[in-house]
């Protein structure tokens, strides 16, 4: 799960997907990262933590990190929150196989739309909307790959 700073969208997506795989007892590893370096080591935005808690998830122990080229080898699937992050991730790829692992998360809900998850950082009211979008997308990820 990759967004810009790894403090709003991708921590929510990580928490949602981890919860779903735990419920289904799947043997998956899920992590999140940001394409930027500004928040490395910081916890998720308090509004993301609060939103997750509202839906029964605790993401408060997560810490922001920046995506590395090695993540494209380590993980089978890299889900970008928007087209800017998608392009930044592709620049890290060394080959076509790595590029093929990168997808826009909302394409799981609306295939081929290439819609981005809006960044709620500048909109306090956007966190619930983002949560619902990611919850639906993560359910589709499970349906396709589970």
Which residue is catalytic, options 8, 9, 47, 82?
9
At residue 145, the pLDDT reads 95
- The region that residue 40 occupies, defined by phi over 0 for left and psi between -120 and 50 for alpha, beta otherwise, is beta
| Whole-angstrom distance, CA of residue 93 vs CA of residue 54 | 36
pLDDT in tens, 8-40: 999 999 999 999 999 999 999 999 999 999 999
Which residue is catalytic, options 71, 82, 119, 138?
119
At residue 125, the pLDDT reads 85
Nearest CA to 49 out of 57, 39, 41 is that of 57
Report, at the CATH architecture level, how domain 2-145 is classified. Answer: 3-Layer(aba) Sandwich (3.40)
Judge if pTM exceeds 0.85: yes
Is residue 119 part of the annotated active site? The answer reads: yes
Which helix or strand (DSSP H or E) is residue 79 part of?
strand 78-80
At residue 37, the pLDDT reads 97
For residues 12 and 51, the answer to whether their CB atoms sit within 8 Å is: yes
Quickly state the pLDDT bin for 123 (edges 50, 70, 90). Answer: confident
3-class secondary-structure state, position 3: strand
At residue 146, the pLDDT reads 85
């Amino acid at each position: 799960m990759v967004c810009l700073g790894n403090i709003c969208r991708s921590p929510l997506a990580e928490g949602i997907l981890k919860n779903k795989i735990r419920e289904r007892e799947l043997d998956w590893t899920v992590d999140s990262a940001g394409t930027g370096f500004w928040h490395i080591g910081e916890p998720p935005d308090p509004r993301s933590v609060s939103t997750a808690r509202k839906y029964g998830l605790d993401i408060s122990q997560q810490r922001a990190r920046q995506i590395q080229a090695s993540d494209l080898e380590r993980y089978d699937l890299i889900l970008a929150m928007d087209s800017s992050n998608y392009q930044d991730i592709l620049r890290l790829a060394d080959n076509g196989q790595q590029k093929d692992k990168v997808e826009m998360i909302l394409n799981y809900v609306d295939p081929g739309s290439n819609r981005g998850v809006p960044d709620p950082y500048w909109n306090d009211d956007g966190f619930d909307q983002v949560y619902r979008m990611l919850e639906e997308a993560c359910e589709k990820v499970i349906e396709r790959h589970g």
